[in-house]
Amino acid sequence: MLFPPQEFNKIKEDLVIYECALKMVKIRIDVLLDEFRNFHINNPIEHIKTRLKTPESIVEKLHRQNLPITAESARKNLTDIVGIRCICSYARDVFFVAKVLKNQPDMKVRSEKDYVTNPKKSGYRSFHLILDVPIYLSNRIEILPVEIQIRTQAMDFWASLEHKVRYKYKDQMPEHLVLELIDCAEKIAELDDRMFLIQDIVDLAY
């Protein structure tokens, strides 16, 4: 499914500005990475991943949600056109990184969901932030949402595997796989905590 012809150019123009929002937030995180690497003993961010939805994926999501297939509808209803994922060393770093990003003075928190403290029933763990980001153009300021997911490497591996399994079975996973994934999620959370305790002991030894 494609955008109606009259909407195609509109969404292409919008995506240029959304890409600016992606670049802006990525630069902020890169600055934090440079700070931690050069001035702190530990770096809470291992690496980041970025994603900008394609017109096709935007149309698919609007269609799936029974929303109008227009650029205006995408702007109004979709908050994940821009996605950034911060992969942290330890679970406790997730909250530190979230706090730092929320304290950026020109970015406003639209919503936040803490699936680390309160995991989904599936076992999914991650901290989700949607920040409203100002983009300064020559004749106006655009405020666009950027979705940021913050999780540990173990949480990210689990989420990737769960997504593959769910896609394989078209959201109809056998019960034994559902239970196995939930059990793995619990063990990963325990492992994250134990790894942090080891790091804490090492830090205190110096």
Identify the pLDDT of residue 108: 96
Identify the pLDDT of residue 203: 66
Sheet order of strands, 108-114 included: 45-52, 82-88, 141-152, 127-136, 108-114
Does one domain contain both 91 and 12?
yes
Does one domain contain both 186 and 142?
no
Q: Is 147 a catalytic residue?
A: yes
Does one domain contain both 188 and 132?
no
Structural domain containing residue 170: 159-204
Does one domain contain both 110 and 14?
yes
Say whether pTM exceeds 0.85: yes
Does one domain contain both 192 and 134?
no
* CA 71 to chain CA mean position, Å: 22
Identify which of 142, 134, 8, 144 has the alpha carbon closest to the alpha carbon of residue 71: 8
Does one domain contain both 136 and 195?
no
Q: Single out the catalytic residue among 13, 56, 147, 190.
A: 147
Q: What confidence tens digit (pLDDT) does each residue in 69-109 have?
A: 899 999 999 999 999 999 998 888 999 999 999 999 999 99
CATH code, domain carrying 172? 1.10.287
Does one domain contain both 166 and 107?
no
Residue 3: pLDDT band with limits 50, 70, 90: low
Identify the pLDDT of residue 127: 97
Does one domain contain both 125 and 191?
no
Residue 204: pLDDT band with limits 50, 70, 90: low
- Rounded CA-CA distance 102/180 in Å is 35
Does one domain contain both 196 and 124?
no
CATH code, domain carrying 149? 3.30.460.10
Does one domain contain both 134 and 191?
no
Does one domain contain both 149 and 166?
no
Angle (nearest 5°) at CA 164 between 159 and 167: 120
**pLDDT, greater one: 9 or 19:** 19
Residue 59: pLDDT band with limits 50, 70, 90: confident
Q: How big is the chain, counted in residues?
A: 206
**pLDDT, greater one: 199 or 166:** 166
Please tell me the total count of domains within the chain: 2
